[in-house]
């Protein structure tokens, strides 16, 4: 499934919860972890180099409990003006197959919590990206103080538009289904889609049932859902109603322009879901 995770960290209250998620992800096959921080270059580059050493010491402290848990951990600190690009370069150097990023709202009233780095990673990554949502009132409890996370595969919501771009997410749910407790398979029927294709409800249900029939795992419950509405808003609403512990969604668009134009649903879901989201890009050959 996955073997090597690149974990992007900074010294924020999102870090403990992000690190705690690694215990859960170890059941997915993760054996190697790269704890990475990219110091953004400022006008004073020498100060950035000094600050980078402080981050390395902090990451080494973060690594200790992970090593005790049996994970192979590497610490990596880089300095760059392009943080997301540098993180992706590190992932390539270490052959990572999963990115883990934590993100946190700035206030209880805020539903928009993605920073520029997270948005850039969503847009540019060709690897699966696990976005760990952290509550806005979370405190920085240190490297070992985060409470256990709810297992992501307790209640999984697969959101697919049944296009070729969603095949990465659909293939991923097949791999994860052996460990999942409950799974919801969801396609949102948009107003335009219903107008253009009157048989869309029947076609969508048939396609989701096909995915269900070929899931190798035996979850306690698998549901097929075809609600009407706008994609992002409906996915977020259903995830809340079903108390999803993880949303899996495909990433639309392969190039910069495509991602800007049609790759918005995944980003909007990440912004508003208030729960973990796993983004699965379309892989070569899929």
Q: Are residues 181 and 70 in the same domain?
A: no
Strands 277-281 and 128-134: antiparallel
Q: Are residues 127 and 227 in the same domain?
A: no
259 has a pLDDT exceeding 70: no
At 92 the pLDDT is: 96
Q: Are residues 263 and 202 in the same domain?
A: yes
Split at pLDDT 50, 70, 90, the class of 81 is confident
Q: Are residues 213 and 256 in the same domain?
A: yes
- 3-state SS assignment for residue 173: helix
Model confidence, pTM: 0.89
Give the C-alpha separation, 4 to 72, whole Å: 9
pLDDT tens-digit series, residues 51-62: 667 889 999 999
What percent of the chain clears pLDDT 90, i.e. is strictly above it?
A: 58
- The better pLDDT of the pair 78, 112 is held by 78
Q: Are residues 120 and 188 in the same domain?
A: no
pLDDT tens-digit series, residues 31-45: 999 999 998 876 555
271 has a pLDDT exceeding 90: no
- The better pLDDT of the pair 50, 191 is held by 191
At 146 the pLDDT is: 60
- Residue 271's CATH number: 3.40.50.620
Split at pLDDT 50, 70, 90, the class of 133 is confident
Q: Are residues 124 and 37 in the same domain?
A: yes
What percent of the chain clears pLDDT 70, i.e. is strictly above it?
A: 83
pLDDT tens-digit series, residues 150-181: 999 999 999 999 988 889 999 999 999 999 99
> Does 144 reside within a domain?
no
Average pLDDT over every residue of 224-253: 92
Q: Are residues 160 and 255 in the same domain?
A: yes
At 109 the pLDDT is: 42
Domain extent at residue 75: 4-134
> Does 147 reside within a domain?
no
Q: Are residues 107 and 211 in the same domain?
A: no
Letter string b/e over residues 33-44, b meaning 16 or more CB atoms within 10 A of that residue's CB: bbbbbbbeeeee
Q: Are residues 110 and 172 in the same domain?
A: no
Number of domains the chain is built from: 2
> Does 99 reside within a domain?
yes
> Does 34 reside within a domain?
yes
Q: Are residues 103 and 178 in the same domain?
A: no
């Amino acid at each position: 499934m996955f073997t090597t995770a690149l974990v992007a960290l900074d010294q924020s209250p999102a870090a403990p919860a992000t690190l705690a998620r690694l215990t859960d992800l170890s059941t997915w096959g993760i054996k190697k972890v790269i704890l990475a921080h990219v110091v953004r270059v400022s006008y004073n580059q020498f100060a950035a180099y000094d600050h980078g050493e402080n981050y390395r010491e902090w990451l080494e402290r973060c690594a200790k409990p992970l090593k005790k848990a049996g994970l192979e951990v590497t610490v990596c600190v880089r300095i760059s003006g392009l943080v997301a690009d540098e993180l992706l370069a590190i992932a390539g150097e270490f052959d990572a197959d999963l990115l883990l990023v934590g993100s946190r709202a700035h206030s209880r009233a805020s539903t928009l919590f993605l920073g520029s780095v997270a948005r850039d990673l969503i847009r540019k990554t060709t690897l699966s990206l696990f976005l760990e949502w952290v509550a806005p009132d979370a405190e920085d409890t240190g490297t070992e103080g985060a409470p256990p996370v709810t297992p992501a595969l307790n209640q999984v919501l697969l959101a697919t538009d049944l296009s070729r771009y969603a095949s990465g997410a659909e293939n991923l749910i097949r791999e994860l289904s052996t460990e999942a407790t409950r799974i919801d398979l969801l396609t949102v029927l948009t107003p335009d889609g219903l107008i253009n294709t009157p048989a869309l409800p029947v076609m969508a249900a048939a396609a989701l049932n096909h995915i269900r029939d070929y899931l190798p795992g035996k979850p306690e419950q698998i549901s097929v859902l075809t609600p009407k509405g706008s994609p992002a808003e409906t996915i977020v609403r259903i995830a809340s109603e079903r108390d999803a512990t993880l949303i899996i969604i495909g990433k639309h668009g392969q190039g910069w322009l495509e991602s800007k134009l049609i790759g918005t649903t995944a980003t909007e879901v990440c912004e508003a879901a208030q729960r973990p989201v796993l983004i699965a890009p379309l892989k070569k050959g899929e």
